[in-house]
Amino acid sequence: MSGLPAEFETNSVEGKFLNKLRGAVSLSNSFLCVGLDPDLRRLPEAVHGDVRVFLREIISATSDLVCAYKPNIAFYEALGEEGWKVLRDTIRSIPDHIPVILDAKRADIGNTARMYAEAYFEDLGVDAVTVNPYMGYDAVEPFLAYGAVFVLCATTNPSAGELQLLIVEGRPLYLRVAEMATKWAEGGEVGLVVGAKDPEAVREVRKVASDLPFLVPGVGAQGGDLEASVRAGKDGGGVVVNVSRAVLYTSSGQDFAGAAREAAVSFVERMRKCVI
């Protein structure tokens, strides 16, 4: 073992999700999370347009290398009525010991948020959901009654700074969000979404939220700095590094699953070098 699980084992936050995540990190010796984002325009010809087959093959090829999977709900909503069934079937095909983080970025008034939470945690059976902090704690709290949340904090999109870099009480808004999330963690399991495109932001958020796990997107197709982000965020609450397109669509041929595995192995090996 390279020591990857240690960051999670020293975390002071306890709960069902984090314990499951710790177990998956320990078993895979990996921080890798594969995003399950099926794009019909990019499916390999070998699956004949069958999204279920494509995702099952990807999961089968990578399940021993990951600490989590992250389906983005938009890719399933785009499939229409069948999309919800595909999403449910995909989640059920993931081995039970691997946590599922649903990327939905939801938040709403309490009663509506509770309906979202019931749909995701009760019907789909996910372990965590990404949420938007803009409406404040009462829009997030209903999710915490069902499972874990990852709060959007410092994202990777080009316009993120329009709000996230606004100075509020002497510091950027994204750091105020991190501070709030540490308080929200007193009422349940909370993590932060901190993009890999700005490792300095990862370091700054880690100073504020020392015990929270980070979900780190932006590696791979988005060009985020994998090594710098892992080093900046691995201590304390640990990191879960998401890679989607750079694993899913490495090959469009018959070997798509094997190529996805090779890509995943490469990312895992790079992460392991960051903590030796």
Q: What is the pLDDT of residue 237?
A: 82
Q: Are strands 167-168 and 171-172 parallel, antiparallel or unpaired?
A: antiparallel
pLDDT band, very low/low/confident/very high, at 204 (cuts 50, 70, 90): very high
Of all residues in the chain, the percent with pLDDT exceeding 90 is: 79
Q: What is the pLDDT of residue 222?
A: 63
In this structure, CATH architecture of domain 6-273: Alpha-Beta Barrel (3.20)
Q: What is the pLDDT of residue 230?
A: 83
In the predicted structure, residue 2 carries a pLDDT above the cut 70: no
What is the residue-averaged pLDDT of the chain?
91
Mean per-residue pLDDT, 171-198: 94
Between the CA atoms of 159, 163, 165 and 166, what dihedral angle is there, to the nearest 10 degrees?
140
C-alpha Rg value of the chain to the nearest Å? 18
In the predicted structure, residue 221 carries a pLDDT above the cut 80: no
Contact 44, 251 (CB under 8 A): yes
Question: How far is the C-alpha of 244 from the C-alpha of 74, rounded, in Å?
Answer: 14
List, for residues 175-186, the tens digit of each pLDDT value: 999 999 999 999
Cut 0.85: pTM above it? yes
Active-site residue, selected from the candidate residues 16, 20, 70, 105: 105
Is residue 207 part of the annotated active site? The answer reads: no
Contact 129, 106 (CB under 8 A): yes
DSSP code of 103? Answer: E
